[in-house]
Structure 1
Amino acid sequence: MLQVDNIQCQYDTQAVLEDVSFHVNEGDICCLLGPSGCGKTTALRAIAGFQSLSHGQITLGGQLLSAPGFELEPEQRHIGMVFQDYALFPHLTVHENIRFGIRKSTETEQRKIIKQLLGLIQLEKVAQRYPHELSGGQQQRVALARALAPNPRLLLLDEPFSNLDIELRRHLNLEVREILKEYGISAILVTHDQEEAFSFSDQVGLLHAGRLQQWDTPFNLYHEPANRFVANFIGQGGLLPGMTLDQNRVKTELGIITGNRAYSWQANIPVDILLRPDDIVLNGEGGTSAEVVKKIFSGSATAYYLRLPSGSIVEALFPSHQNYELGEKLLINAKVEHLIAFTPDE
């Protein structure tokens, strides 16, 4: 439905997005993820019509939205947007805020849409209140309802949960996803929080320094990262040095790790293996000795940083009832189902 083709955006002569391409299917919920300054908000603004292109094009349902020298007006794009600060009109009530985008509809149609959306966001009882009389979570719901009222083909969300506390963020993240799926509306979320991106999205695009590093499912981003940046940015874990034995086996300090694919490398090539915390398992009878040098308790599980004899550090995640002290020696193995390795020049 949405097609972004090799777009480039720049401020003065400085490019902030370069050769970014991706597409969003009808009904899909997607995310642009990355650290501050990576270009994700600029990409969202370009889709919305607030940022011009110096190269490439953006189409929605086959209609050209943007190209160098051409920009369809934002109000003609059939795109809704929820801003980071919600941007509600302070002098309008909840009812009036939702009504704002459908003022040209008939009174009967307006009442029908507003009633339906107030029920959807569960704010029927506060319809006559003003934004300053609402909590942050309620304001976020109103902003969503206002964006949905004109029945947009695509919804853009610019870090809409960032001003909320953690528990409310998690709750609204899932709630908004359910609403979008119920309405069948395609959406793009911008965030720097990968937990938020993974729980909200069907597809995630990771940006770095203005370039799209990988556009994939959350599962593949975590288990099949395309490069070192993706491997380091997504999830926890680290890289462990090893030496290739053949196209899918690598000898490491934790033993020989066999992969689920054939790489193009030859034998005796130094590589770095990506190890996630869930790849490390305890072995009471054998394995490699590792010293606990750091631990982080998080309730149901504890993250351990383990130092191997070579000095390399690996991360492990064990149930919190398996409690180990700093300095304690554990015997561990690597149980890797997705072998991800990078040569020194990658």
Structure 2
Amino acid sequence: MIDVTDVLTIVHITCRYHPRKEKEGNVLNNLSLAVRQQEIVCLLGASGCGKTTLLKAIAGLLPLDDGSIVISGQMMSDSEQAVAPEFRQVGLIFQDYALFPHLTVAENIAFGLYGQPKEAIARSVGEMVALVHLAGLEARYPHELSGGQQQRVAIARALVCNPSVLLLDEPFSNIDNQERDNLINELRIILKQRQVATVFVTHSKEEAFAFADRLAVMDKGAIIQEGFPATLYHRPGSRFVADYLGSSNYLPVKILSDHQWQSFFGDHHSTHPHGLPIGSHCDWLVRPHDIALSLDPDGTARVEDRLFMGTSNHYRISLDEQVIQVQSSTWFEPGQPVRLSIKASQPLFFPSEAGED
């Protein structure tokens, strides 16, 4: 059943490789997703997982073998028919900007308004130029702009037609860091103000965390897990999701009771029952920032390496033939003995990969 509050509804879509392609099988496999008005959903995953293919299907550039795509309550695609891309009320923003090199900033923005009265076009272009902070650059050509400025033109061109859905394919990857951070913040505000339902593709978890309201982690043409960024980071449903969203330590443990388990650090206790069989062996997911370091002359752990990352230090700590990743603002030198303590309020366990003793 389609939720009437959803601007974009994708239901069990499957896209197969063309019969003449070398590859076989499904490039999108029984995939479902819904995006509400004003919501920014990020498709996150490695190259080849199907992110860009899904954008093409939403835009009407790729036929469906099964399932359906509905935009603003109107059927756009199913296995029998498809509405042409130009009639879908979908805006597209690409990694390489895709601007017309022979057109000025103003002419690029106005391209999708062809056929409207000149006064209306001029008014709409002026509003977009102000919105994306390009005032004074209207007469320039793309080659006279920075990467960030070119992407602002592409954003304005996509938004000037008031799309119901905006699709962004790696839009920040060709922009230098400082300008990228500014553009991420500004574009997020613009999309919220204009209440556009947005699907954003990236392989960068940092961009996803900064820009998206909700994440959908993809692998092999399917969504593995979706939800709020903080939920997926702190409570991933699999090792794949945990590792993709951040550095992970997996500590072997033995379950002692509903609230207690044992690792090489000693015994640990949580107020929340974990529901695992008593006596079973599993791996405890511990993020680097959930481990505290302190100098201890009698400690059995040693600092192996330190990377200064600006706001924190990333350490590799050796303990009992295992290397543990730790993030800390405290400065330690390689070779120093240290003590480790772990925050264990809501532990997350995965099946052991080493097997039980």
> Shorter-chain TM-score: which interval?
over 0.9
CA RMSD of aligned residues (A): 1.9
User: What is the aligned counterpart of 1:69 among 61, 80, 103?
Assistant: 80
Q: Is the 8 A contact 2:110 2:125 kept in 1?
A: yes
User: What is the aligned counterpart of 1:30 among 34, 37, 41?
Assistant: 41
Output one character per residue of 1:134-159: Cα deviation in whole Å (capped at 9) or x when no partner: 11111000000000000001100000
User: What is the aligned counterpart of 2:195 among 160, 178, 184?
Assistant: 184
Change (3 A) 1:246 1:36: same
Alpha-carbon distance between aligned partners in 2 of 1:57 and 1:261, rounded to the nearest angstrom: 41
Give matches, 1:135-154, under 5 Å. Answer: 135-154=146-165
Alpha-carbon distance between aligned partners in 1 of 2:98 and 2:269, rounded to the nearest angstrom: 53
Query: Alignment partner of 2:154: what SS?
Result: helix
Alpha-carbon distance between aligned partners in 1 of 2:144 and 2:107, rounded to the nearest angstrom: 14
2:328 paired residue number:
318
Deviation of 1:284 (Å)? 5.9
Deviation of 1:236 (Å)? 1.5
Deviation of 1:261 (Å)? 4.2
Query: Alignment partner of 1:90: what SS?
Result: coil
Q: Is the 8 A contact 2:295 2:337 kept in 1?
A: no
Please say if 1:334 is aligned against 2:345.
Answer: no
Query: Alignment partner of 2:136: what SS?
Result: helix
1:226 paired residue number:
237
Alpha-carbon distance between aligned partners in 2 of 1:54 and 1:286, rounded to the nearest angstrom: 65
Output one character per residue of 1:26-63: Cα deviation in whole Å (capped at 9) or x when no partner: 11011000111111111111111111111211111221
TM-score by length of 1: 0.94
Alpha-carbon distance between aligned partners in 1 of 2:297 and 2:229, rounded to the nearest angstrom: 34
Q: Is the 8 A contact 2:259 2:271 kept in 1?
A: yes
Give matches, 1:72-111, under 5 Å. Answer: 72-111=83-122
Output one character per residue of 1:53-98: Cα deviation in whole Å (capped at 9) or x when no partner: 1121111122111111221111111010001111111111111111
Alpha-carbon distance between aligned partners in 2 of 1:260 and 1:27, rounded to the nearest angstrom: 38
Please say if 1:39 is aligned against 2:50.
Answer: yes
Change (3 A) 1:260 1:19: farther
Give matches, 1:94-243, under 5 Å. Answer: 94-243=105-254
1:307 paired residue number:
318
Query: Alignment partner of 1:179: what SS?
Result: helix
Deviating more after overlay: 126-135 vs 145-154: 126-135
- State the identity %: 39
Q: Which runs of 5+ in 2 are unaligned?
A: 1-6, 19-23
Alpha-carbon distance between aligned partners in 1 of 2:259 and 2:281, rounded to the nearest angstrom: 13
Change (3 A) 1:158 1:138: same
Alpha-carbon distance between aligned partners in 2 of 1:206 and 1:76, rounded to the nearest angstrom: 29
Change (3 A) 1:288 1:185: farther
1:2 paired residue number:
8
Deviation of 1:170 (Å)? 1.6
User: What is the aligned counterpart of 2:257 among 228, 237, 246?
Assistant: 246
Change (3 A) 1:259 1:79: farther
Q: Is the 8 A contact 2:291 2:342 kept in 1?
A: yes
1:331 maps to amino acid: R
Deviation of 1:191 (Å)? 0.3
Please say if 1:277 is aligned against 2:283.
Answer: no
Q: Is the 8 A contact 1:83 1:159 kept in 2?
A: yes
Deviation of 1:287 (Å)? 10
1:214 maps to amino acid: Q
Alpha-carbon distance between aligned partners in 2 of 1:171 and 1:323, rounded to the nearest angstrom: 31
2:62 paired residue number:
51
1:4 maps to amino acid: I
Q: Is the 8 A contact 2:297 2:338 kept in 1?
A: no
Q: Is the 8 A contact 1:224 1:338 kept in 2?
A: no
2:322 maps to amino acid: S
2:351 paired residue number:
343
Equivalent residue pairs, number = 343
Output one character per residue of 1:285-312: Cα deviation in whole Å (capped at 9) or x when no partner: 7997321112111122100111112x12
Deviation of 1:194 (Å)? 0.3
2:4 paired residue number:
none
Alpha-carbon distance between aligned partners in 1 of 2:71 and 2:345, rounded to the nearest angstrom: 39
Query: Alignment partner of 1:126: what SS?
Result: coil
Change (3 A) 1:262 1:4: farther
TM-score by length of 2: 0.91
Q: Is the 8 A contact 1:287 1:333 kept in 2?
A: no
Query: Alignment partner of 2:121: what SS?
Result: helix
2:332 maps to amino acid: Y
